[in-house]
């Protein structure tokens, strides 16, 4: 046991003290926070304004195309040649020409001239707006009351309520639960590859430098493999916890600075909603649009608060740890079987296929979470760390979750035994590339 602890300490401190570890520990949260903050910041920035000159020969769209913050419509009656001169030197960056018989044409084809290529959202907005205008005109031509059409177009919002064992209704949100499940699965996937490959490279490095010959004279090969796996696991947990803490701190700081005005508006909207709830209609009646947007934010936070965070975190910790241990043992076996990292490709592919297939399987879980395929792969040890985390939001029965965890532990012990057999023989093999047949023979060597 003392030798195992020494190996764990060596693996842990030798990696934690590296400059690469310190750099990635700092750089990782910066990149993660940037991925979360920068897209929001870019989306909230003022977009490019487009000045569109509309030459409507049909007369159907005059003053019918609503302006937006980014798109301003101006209507003209000049020829297209005169308008193009304005496009070159004037304030307009787009000209849209509409044919004279747009209402009776089976397919209306306006022509859009531009100086710079507009984004797809601009084109879609113009197209959808014109379709709505023509739709209303054609309904009026058939003497159909548009107000009745508007009343008939009422949105449907499905409210999902889970009936608990004590008969109470509990509000759920499948989309948020799925997002959390996929986020946990992706984190497990990257951690397995990142730190599992570190175990493999560490074994290859020691083997190529002949350091392992000295080490195995004092400890058993299986102890050496287990110590490397556990040591790197502690390195991964340390870095992962630091990433979470630093990412949250950086995100909070950057969000507070960049979105200071938006946060102030949210606080103001909250106070307005409180006034409305207290029947202070004089203060709130003119602010209902802002209150509705605040309600959406509050609704989002309520849905998040309804999630069983403790269950998700416990399952994530379990599948993160044992999923890593299982695959790290296989990566250690691969490292011991080859002499260089270039020779690992033929062995890595079969090991990584179950992880890649897990995400393909996870897509079908969205449509049928209780299918036999979803149940099998959420219990099968090589795929359960990913598949079960994605399936977890769909109220997996307790017995299936317990069976999945049990099988993962058994799978870890079995694959560790297999990896130990390969590791014991392969760690002292040099100069020859082993085949799958030879690896099979190594499993039955005695001594």
Among the ranges given (39-53, 62-76, 347-361), the one the predictor scored with the smallest mean pLDDT:
39-53
Are residues 129 and 233 located together in one domain of the fold?
Answer: no
| Boundary-marking domain end, from 137, 152, 167 | 152
Are residues 65 and 210 located together in one domain of the fold?
Answer: no
Domain holding 112, by residue range, is 50-152
Instruction: Note the pLDDT of residue 171.
Output: 61
Residue 447 lies in a domain: no
Q: Which residue has the tokens 């532990």?
A: 409
The CATH number that applies at residue 84 is: 3.40.190.10
pLDDT band for 381, please (50, 70, 90 cuts): very high
| Boundary-marking domain end, from 89, 123, 152 | 152
Q: How far, in Å, CA of 408 to CA of 330, rounded?
A: 14
- pTM for the model: 0.65
Residue 283 lies in a domain: no
- Reported as type and span, the H/E element at residue 6 is helix 2-16
| Boundary-marking domain end, from 128, 152, 176 | 152
Q: Which two tokens stand for residue 251?
A: 């995100």
pLDDT tens per residue, range 265-304: 545 544 544 444 444 434 443 444 444 444 444 555 555 5
pLDDT tens per residue, range 92-113: 888 888 877 766 666 667 888 8
Are residues 116 and 233 located together in one domain of the fold?
Answer: no
Are residues 247 and 385 located together in one domain of the fold?
Answer: yes
Are residues 222 and 310 located together in one domain of the fold?
Answer: yes
Residue 437 lies in a domain: yes
Are residues 132 and 235 located together in one domain of the fold?
Answer: no
Residue 269 lies in a domain: no
Average pLDDT over residues 405-412: 92
Residue 416 lies in a domain: yes
Are residues 207 and 333 located together in one domain of the fold?
Answer: yes
pLDDT tens per residue, range 9-62: 888 888 888 888 888 888 888 887 777 777 666 665 555 678 888 888 888 888
User: For the CA atoms of 431, 432, 433, 434, what is the dihedral angle to 10 degrees?
Assistant: -140
Would you call 407 helix, strand, or coil by DSSP? helix
Would you call 280 helix, strand, or coil by DSSP? coil
Are residues 68 and 209 located together in one domain of the fold?
Answer: no
pLDDT tens per residue, range 248-261: 888 778 777 766 65
Residue 29 lies in a domain: yes
Residue 188 lies in a domain: no
Q: Count the domains in the chain.
A: 2
Q: How far is CA 313 from CA 47, 116, 326, 351, 405, in A?
A: 39, 49, 20, 26, 14
Q: How far, in Å, CA of 332 to CA of 79, rounded?
A: 75
């Amino acid at each position: 046991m003392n030798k195992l602890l020494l190996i764990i300490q060596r693996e842990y401190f030798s990696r934690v003290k590296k400059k690469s570890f310190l750099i990635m520990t700092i750089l990782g949260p910066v990149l993660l926070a940037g991925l979360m903050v920068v897209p929001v910041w870019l989306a909230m920035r003022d977009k490019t304004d487009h000045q569109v000159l509309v030459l409507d020969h049909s007369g159907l769209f005059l003053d019918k195309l609503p302006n937006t913050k980014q798109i301003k419509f101006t209507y003209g009656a000049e020829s297209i040649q005169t308008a193009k001169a304005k496009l070159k030197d004037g304030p307009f960056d787009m000209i849209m020409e509409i044919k004279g018989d747009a209402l009776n044409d089976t397919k209306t084809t306006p022509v859009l001239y531009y100086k710079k290529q507009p984004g797809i959202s601009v084109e879609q907005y113009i197209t959808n707006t014109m379709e709505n205008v023509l739709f209303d005109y054609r309904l009026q031509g058939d003497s159909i009351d548009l107000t009745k059409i508007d009343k008939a177009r009422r949105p449907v919002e499905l409210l999902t309520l889970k009936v608990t064992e004590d008969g109470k209704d509990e509000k759920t949100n499948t989309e948020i639960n799925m997002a959390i499940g996929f986020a946990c699965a992706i984190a497990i996937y990257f951690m397995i590859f990142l730190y599992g490959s570190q175990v493999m490279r560490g074994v290859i490095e020691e083997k190529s430098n002949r350091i392992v010959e000295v080490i195995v004279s004092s400890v058993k090969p299986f102890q050496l493999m287990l110590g490397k796996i556990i040591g790197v696991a502690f390195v991964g947990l340390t870095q992962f916890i630091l990433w979470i803490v630093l990412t949250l701190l950086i995100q909070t700081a950057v969000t507070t600075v960049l979105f200071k005005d938006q946060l102030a508006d949210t606080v103001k909207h909250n106070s307005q909603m409180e006034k409305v709830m207290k029947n202070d209609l004089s203060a709130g009646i003119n602010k209902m649009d802002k209150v509705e947007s605040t309600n959406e934010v509050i609704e989002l936070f309520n849905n998040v608060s309804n999630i069983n965070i403790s269950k998700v975190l416990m399952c994530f910790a379990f599948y993160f740890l044992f999923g890593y241990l299982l695959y790290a043992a296989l990566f250690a076996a691969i490292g011991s079987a080859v002499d260089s990292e270039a020779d690992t490709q033929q062995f890595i592919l079969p090991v990584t296929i179950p992880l890649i297939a897990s995400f393909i399987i996870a897509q079908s879980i969205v449509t049928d979470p209780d299918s036999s395929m979803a149940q099998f792969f959420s219990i099968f040890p090589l795929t359960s760390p990913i598949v079960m985390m994605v399936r977890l939001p769909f109220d997996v029965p307790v017995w299936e979750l317990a069976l999945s965890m049990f099988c993962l532990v058994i799978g870890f012990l079995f694959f560790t035994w297999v990896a130990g057999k390969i590791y014991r023989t392969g760690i002292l093999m040099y100069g020859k590339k082993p085949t799958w047949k030879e690896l099979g023979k190594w499993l039955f060597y005695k001594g």
